[in-house]
Structure 1
Amino acid sequence: MHIFSGKNKTKGKRIVAIESVPYLYIPIPHYMRDFSVPIVNVGDKVCKFQLIAESKGVFSSNVHSPVSGIVEAIEEYSSADGTLVNTIVIKNDFEEKVEVRPTSLLYLQTLTSEQLLNIIRGSGVVGEGGAQFPTAVKYTLDGKKINTFIVNGAECEPYLTADYALMSQRTKELLEGIAIINRILGAQEIVISIEEQNKQLQKVFEPFLNNPLYKNIRIVTLSNDYPQGAELQLIKSVTGLELPRNVLPRDAGVIVSNVGTIYAIYKAVVFHEPVVNRVITVAGNGCEGGNYEVKIGTPISYILDVLGISAENNTVVVGGPMMGRAVTNSNTSVTKGTSGIILTKKEKIKRENCISCGYCVEVCPMGLMPMKFEEHYRKGKYFNLEKYSISSCIECAACEYICPANVALIESIKKGKIKLKQQADAIR
């Protein structure tokens, strides 16, 4: 499906660091039922890069302080969708006292796959495309042979250009990160996937790919279809493999990683820096926008104030306008999975009943029936949602984008997943 791009304003802009904020609100992540646990207390002094919350499960991840300062609070704060998340609040002392860390790079070439995985795990690296799945878990192969390592540079969401900025401005670092990762994966081929609208990146990569170190890397230019960057869709476009929903890409010999994740691994391994910041795009209605390096835990309201952007008469979306979430509290902070802050014009959308046109089924990249999710959610028949495989929905919003009746499909899907989980938990 072709959708609008909106990338031209920010695509060529340099990455600029957003100045540090007086208070950081650092969410403690969880994935599935695995949580990270704070290992600091209110009143503690912390250094930059210090571990402040520790992974206590396979699918949780470590959290580090982006600044030096004092732990002001550990309590619940609102996330982008309004749900409460346990959060560590740090008062920045602006002294940038850094925890003592290794500095020698001499050992880099001698690190084993397991040692590299431990660094990635210890540094709190997660998928920066949005899912925030722990990267070390993805790279644990359990004896599986990887044939193809796909670098996901198909930034298919409108407005977002953070990955483009990394690929065009930090090319050398990205390629070094790819080489580090492939020492773990041992993939026979490495494919950097970009969209047709970003084909100028081929010339950026070409001088580097002449280096024998990168001889097994090739560039693949894909059509500007949405959602081209979704994992299963990307695998099909690059390799031709159409994986069943219950098959992990690893088991089919494929690993996919987002550009931002690879850059985070480069910094973790080469400079011993845990994930404490990331590059995001700020764009949309009524602002020039750009690509910015931002500390994890920085409130969205602070970023907009620094950039002189007014959110009045706009809806603020965290992520892209298709898969992102509208912010209910502007003090919501940047997480490891925040790819952008997008301003969209507030509009009153006239919702109508489903007219059974079937367009949502035609565009669904997962082959689902989105209108059934809306129907069963509306009727309170939550267990029927899984009958239609709601857990396979990637929430790309292609269905709602194409719907001529403006049926609230994505709202039904997101809330339906929550209701289904609540009912399943109650039975347990």
Structure 2
Amino acid sequence: MLMNLFKFKGGVKPPTNKTQSVTLPIAQAPLPSRLVVPLHQSIGGTPRPVVAAGDKVLKGQLIGEADGWISAAVHAPTSGTVVEVAMHVQPHPSGLDALCVVIEPDGRDEWIPREAVDYKALTPEEVRERLQQAGVVGLGGAVFPTHGKLTASKTVPMEELIINGAECEPFITCDDLLMRERAEEVVRGIGIFRDLLQPKKVLIGIEDNKPEAAAAMRAAVDALQEPFLVVPVPTLYPAGGAKQLIRVLTGKEVPAAKRSTDLGVQCFNVATAYTAWRAIAHGEPVVSRLVTVTGNVHAPRNYEVLIGTPMDELLKLATPHPDTDGIIMGGPMMGFLVPDPHVPVVKATNCLIAHDDRLFPPKPPEMPCIRCGACAQACPHELQPFEMYWFARAKNFGKTQEYHIFDCIECGCCSFVCPSRIPLVQYFRFAKSEIWAREREKNAADGAKARFEFKQLREEREKAEKAEKLARAAAAQAAKKAAEAAAAAAAGGDAAETAAAAPEVAPAAVDAAKEAKKATIEAAMARAKAQREAAQPKNVEALSGAQQKEIDEIEARRQVAHLTDADAASPAGEKTE
């Protein structure tokens, strides 16, 4: 069946460098000397550790419990002993530490008891919960918890389920080999997603430079008698981006402020479908993944690797050349040099590239931007990278947001085509990190201000309550003295005169209490008024007539509310000016 395909704007065609790592079948990486398993390996909350140093664990045992709905559990990749739960360097451009569970393997690789279930006998909620507890996340790079994407929109019917087998990034071939060798299990996993989302069509998009993978997927679809359609798409980076693949296959453009489900589309990676099937049908949580090991090595190949394996130990399996001077995690377009060769493989690790200056020669010095517009023509999100670059360089982060910097997926197309060799993506990452940092500071300041104002309010309330209590005590004391005076006068024979004076003393005490309470309220209102006046708006000299009118209307409503509150707080029968 032929389909009419669409195009997305921009894109580039870098050298693919894929043939080196597809000549050999998938191999199983041996047990490493130790496993360092970060607890935070997906978007969302950080799982809580449920093991401690000295604990014995089995392969697949829970070691990190999901923290909230958008979070995924973490499991022991093999059997052994927990050495420590401590901070270790994570595979991230920042080089920051993350909380990790360190396991010393015992060599037995002994599994927990695994329970295979028929997912069709479960409710959709139970299937999603099992996927969360199995730690299934998007293995295409985004690592979003898969169960969180398996609920269709309540208002928009699900039209298309897109399965992403494009794998457009150069050097990476793990999805290609997965589809060639394990196509049936991939298709069965797609069936789980289909039954949960109930789409009208299931489309499997594979770039046309992977004919063997496409043929294997078609054969598996036919063997299982599924109505899925395998669609070759043109080889163009970044066709493997979710929004780009949705555009190519359906013609729908997903706006930045919306999710694809709002348009009746959802997208999953082929490796995600495979791990979902293993989790449901075999009771196996995600403890390993396929990783392409390539670059400056003698024997590039794809390996099935335990999560937590040190990258330098994995790289040794491909026999790197002596001049290797670093490890790139991911592809050359969106990947990064890991901060330490000992950092562990995580769920987001789809490729390791041995780096050297021959394969990746140092870039010439950065030259001034000539505003040629080549970056804008290559941008698949139709942004204006040269404008974002100028404002990011000037640290005018507000302007970068006006140019929609957070719509940038950091694909690297702009940097790839820039004739001035400007590392544009690095500037955009810097601007984003600065905006996030300032937002955190602003939120912290707002929280501190709210706490301070609440403290002031509490202190004012406590002062008013204390004054009222003192007034009641003074009234009671005055009444008591009046009674004692009356009793003494009665004992002295002047009872009639004391009885006439006693009623005058008690009302005087009550009036004194009222005056004290009124003074306290007036003092509190005066302080509040002074605070409001001190917080008058600034930078309002150049307001338009419409803006000034709106402010006046708001101020009038505030004054009415203030007078109403003041009347309610005044003693009975009195008005507050």
Match of 1:204 among 197, 210, 216: 216
Query: Superposed, which structure 2 residues align to 1:260-275 within 5 Å?
Result: 260-275=271-286
1:241 matches 2:241: no
**CA–CA distance in structure 2, aligned partners of residues 83 and 371 of structure 1:** 30
Per the TM alignment, residue 6 of structure 1 is displaced from its structure 2 partner at its CA by 0.6
Distance 1:303 1:386, change over 3 A: same
Cα offsets for 1:103-132 (capped at 9, x unmatched): 4x4x44322222211111110111101111
Amino acid at match of 1:217: F
Show structure 1 runs of 5+ residues with no match: none
Per the TM alignment, residue 254 of structure 1 is displaced from its structure 2 partner at its CA by 0.7
**CA–CA distance in structure 2, aligned partners of residues 328 and 26 of structure 1:** 17
Query: Superposed, which structure 2 residues align to 1:5-24 within 5 Å?
Result: 5-24=16-35
* Aligned residues of 1:285 and 1:314 also touching (Cα < 8 A): no
Kindly report the root-mean-square deviation, in angstroms, between the aligned alpha carbons of the 2 structures: 1.7
Tell me which residue corresponds to 1:91.
104
Per the TM alignment, residue 9 of structure 1 is displaced from its structure 2 partner at its CA by 1.2
Match of 2:436 among 398, 403, 421: 421
Cα offsets for 1:186-218 (capped at 9, x unmatched): 11111111111113333323333334630x201
1:213 matches 2:228: no
Amino acid at match of 2:225: L
**CA–CA distance in structure 2, aligned partners of residues 264 and 18 of structure 1:** 18
* Aligned residues of 1:280 and 1:339 also touching (Cα < 8 A): yes
Tell me which residue corresponds to 2:314.
303
Match of 1:349 among 342, 346, 363: 363
Tell me which residue corresponds to 1:373.
388
* Aligned residues of 1:18 and 1:293 also touching (Cα < 8 A): yes
Match of 1:166 among 178, 196, 205: 178
Amino acid at match of 1:117: R
Query: Superposed, which structure 2 residues align to 1:105-120 within 5 Å?
Result: 105=117, 107-120=118-131
Cα offsets for 1:36-70 (capped at 9, x unmatched): 21111122221111111111123221100001111
TM-score by length of 2: 0.71
* Aligned residues of 1:30 and 1:60 also touching (Cα < 8 A): no
Tell me which residue corresponds to 1:76.
87
**CA–CA distance in structure 1, aligned partners of residues 229 and 43 of structure 2:** 35
* Aligned residues of 1:60 and 1:134 also touching (Cα < 8 A): yes
1:4 matches 2:15: yes
Q: Secondary structure, in 3 states, of the residue corresponding to 1:220?
A: strand
**CA–CA distance in structure 2, aligned partners of residues 59 and 30 of structure 1:** 12
Q: Tell me the matched-pair count.
A: 425
Per the TM alignment, residue 97 of structure 1 is displaced from its structure 2 partner at its CA by 2.8
Q: Which moved more, 1:84-93 or 1:275-284?
A: 84-93
**CA–CA distance in structure 1, aligned partners of residues 168 and 414 of structure 2:** 16
Distance 1:31 1:334, change over 3 A: closer
Match of 2:235 among 212, 215, 224: 224
Amino acid at match of 1:417: K
Per the TM alignment, residue 236 of structure 1 is displaced from its structure 2 partner at its CA by 0.4
Cα offsets for 1:329-376 (capped at 9, x unmatched): 101111111110012433321221212111111111111122233333
1:145 matches 2:160: no
Match of 2:289 among 273, 278, 284: 278
Distance 1:27 1:373, change over 3 A: farther
Cα offsets for 1:12-36 (capped at 9, x unmatched): 4211010011211111216566222
Tell me which residue corresponds to 2:560.
none
Per the TM alignment, residue 237 of structure 1 is displaced from its structure 2 partner at its CA by 0.1
* Aligned residues of 1:30 and 1:59 also touching (Cα < 8 A): no
* Aligned residues of 1:311 and 1:343 also touching (Cα < 8 A): no
Per the TM alignment, residue 251 of structure 1 is displaced from its structure 2 partner at its CA by 1.4
1:386 matches 2:427: no
Amino acid at match of 1:83: L
Query: Superposed, which structure 2 residues align to 1:173-188 within 5 Å?
Result: 173-188=185-200
Q: Secondary structure, in 3 states, of the residue corresponding to 2:415?
A: helix
Tell me which residue corresponds to 1:335.
346
**CA–CA distance in structure 1, aligned partners of residues 218 and 134 of structure 2:** 31
Show structure 2 runs of 5+ residues with no match: 1-11, 444-577
* Aligned residues of 1:373 and 1:416 also touching (Cα < 8 A): no
**CA–CA distance in structure 1, aligned partners of residues 46 and 207 of structure 2:** 36
**CA–CA distance in structure 2, aligned partners of residues 3 and 153 of structure 1:** 18
Greater RCO (Cα-Cα under 8 Å, separation 6 or more): 1
* Aligned residues of 2:41 and 2:347 also touching (Cα < 8 A): no
Per the TM alignment, residue 260 of structure 1 is displaced from its structure 2 partner at its CA by 0.9
1:250 matches 2:275: no
Cα offsets for 1:156-178 (capped at 9, x unmatched): 00011100101110011111111
**CA–CA distance in structure 2, aligned partners of residues 202 and 417 of structure 1:** 38
Q: Secondary structure, in 3 states, of the residue corresponding to 2:99?
A: strand
**CA–CA distance in structure 2, aligned partners of residues 381 and 117 of structure 1:** 43
**CA–CA distance in structure 2, aligned partners of residues 179 and 298 of structure 1:** 31
Tell me which residue corresponds to 1:126.
137
TM-score by length of 1: 0.95
Amino acid at match of 1:18: A
Distance 1:94 1:212, change over 3 A: closer
Task: Report sequence identity in percent.
Answer: 31
* Aligned residues of 1:78 and 1:85 also touching (Cα < 8 A): yes
Amino acid at match of 2:163: V
Amino acid at match of 1:395: E
Q: Which moved more, 1:373-382 or 1:110-119?
A: 373-382
Tell me which residue corresponds to 1:60.
71
**CA–CA distance in structure 2, aligned partners of residues 97 and 29 of structure 1:** 24
Amino acid at match of 2:233: L
Per the TM alignment, residue 250 of structure 1 is displaced from its structure 2 partner at its CA by 1.1
**CA–CA distance in structure 2, aligned partners of residues 86 and 367 of structure 1:** 38
Q: Secondary structure, in 3 states, of the residue corresponding to 2:352?
A: strand
More helix by share: 2
* Aligned residues of 1:24 and 1:299 also touching (Cα < 8 A): yes
